[in-house]
Amino acid sequence: MTAVDQTTLRRRRTGLTAIDRDRTAGGYTLFAPQTGEGRVDLVDVEGNSAHRWQMPVRPGRDAVILPNGNIGYNGSHATSAALYPAWDLWHGGDFYEATPEGDIVWRHEDIYHHHDAHWLPNGNLLYTVAAPLPADKAARVTGGDPRKDGADGIIQSDILREVNRAGEVVWEWRIWDHLDPADFPVHANFDRRHWPMVNGVSVTSDGLMLLSLRTTSGVVAVNRETGAVVWHVGPEVVAQQHTPVETEGGNILVFDNGNLRTGSTSPFSRALEFDRSGRVVWSYADPLPMAFFSPYMGGCQRLWNGNTFICESAFGRLFEVTPEGAVVWEYVIPDFAAYPEPLAQFITGEHNSCFRAHRYPASALPWLKERAHG
């Protein structure tokens, strides 16, 4: 008798599940499975493996192709700071740069790092770290579920940090110096151990830093020179969003997860583009909205042909849509595994998830052609 596979997602189709060769942007897709034990995969538009790296540690978050052709890898630090029970779900802190051959050419460690990072053109690294919120500021945190507060009474907050190639801190920005917790309440059923939990960071073409605020639902833009928050788009537009990035036209593209969305009783995710005033100028949701939903993680990328590449992280579904919302490419990560302990206590079952995926044109990977003809 054949036993039924108890991993629901694996019983469905995986690998390349859809392609419109005339309308896809093509190129190569890079992703680092959260349960892949450090594997980073590059697949072509047909869903075939084009290259693979084996990194020393499991991913904290994602991997990216750098301008020099190497990968920048956001790894999970083996001895990260133990700040609160769920910390291990989203910390990173062990960064690597590796050649296509897998040789490590740079490493940086920061046990207080969590969530996202941005590799800057000058070789520096911009990322978020957790730090205790000063007591007077912590007293102003509103919302959330106080029953979940830690016995130590400490609320972690966020610092944006830049380090150079020597690992030296060259710039920092503390969020509590510029935002009042009383003006950014935590969602009602969330714990208050981390305010406002910056889960995404990027830099615009005019030098503004975009920060995604998870537990309060919002995106802020920060002027690096003055430290001032230039604009804020809040829960009237986004809901527990991730990874804000600038489009070529200067708008902001986010993965809008949809948890606790204002006025909605059935959560669904969207790829959402808004201008700097918060006006929505484009969005994609599935025709059956609940069929596209990632309750955590997620990413969007505007492609060179105008299509949008989307990572439905929790279910390992990577897909591409046209400006009109037609799906023209879809790939479901076929490899499943359980999270390691102690994460498996918080997130059970077997997973094919990844924090974020990235699409690259062949021109960004000249070494790939060289290896193929070598």
- Average pLDDT over every residue of 119-142: 97
Average pLDDT of span 115-120: 98
Assess whether pLDDT exceeds 70 at residue 370: no
Percent of the chain with pLDDT over 70: 98
Quick one: pLDDT band at residue 39, thresholds 50, 70, 90? very high
Task: Compute the average pLDDT of residues 124-144.
Answer: 97
Q: Could you tell me the CA-to-CA distances from 223 to 70, 203, 254 in Å, in that order?
A: 30, 10, 20
Mean pLDDT within 362-372: 85
> CA–CA separation, 207 vs 203, rounded Å?
6
Q: Which whole number is the average pLDDT over 82-101? A: 94
Per-residue pLDDT averaged across 341-354, rounded?
92
- Among the listed residues 221, 239, 238, the one whose alpha carbon sits nearest the alpha carbon of residue 230: 221
Contact yes or no for 97/108 (Cβ under 8 A): no
For all residues of the chain together, what is the average pLDDT? 95
Helix H segments across the chain?
A: 8-11, 135-138, 366-373
**pLDDT digits 0-9 by tens, 291-306:** 999 999 999 999 999 9
Q: Which stretch of 105-114, 253-262, 274-283, 340-349 has the lowest confidence by average pLDDT?
A: 340-349
Mean pLDDT of 46-74: 97
Residues 6+ apart with CB under 8 A from 39: 32, 33, 52, 53, 54, 55
pLDDT of residue 235: 96
The pTM is what? 0.96
Written out in words, the top-level CATH class of the domain with range 8-373 is: mainly beta
Complete DSSP assignment for 27-44: -EEEE-BTTSTTEEEEE-
| Amino acid letter for position 335 | D
Taking only the tens place, the pLDDT of each residue in 25-35 is 999 999 999 99
Q: pLDDT category, 371, cuts 50, 70, 90?
A: low
Q: What is the pLDDT of residue 236?
A: 95
User: Among 4-8, 116-120, 180-184, 245-249, which is the least confidently predicted range?
Assistant: 4-8
The pLDDT confidence band at residue 372, using thresholds 50, 70 and 90, is low
pLDDT at 150 (0 to 100)? 84
Domain ranges of the chain: 8-373
The pLDDT, as a whole number, for residue 2 is: 78
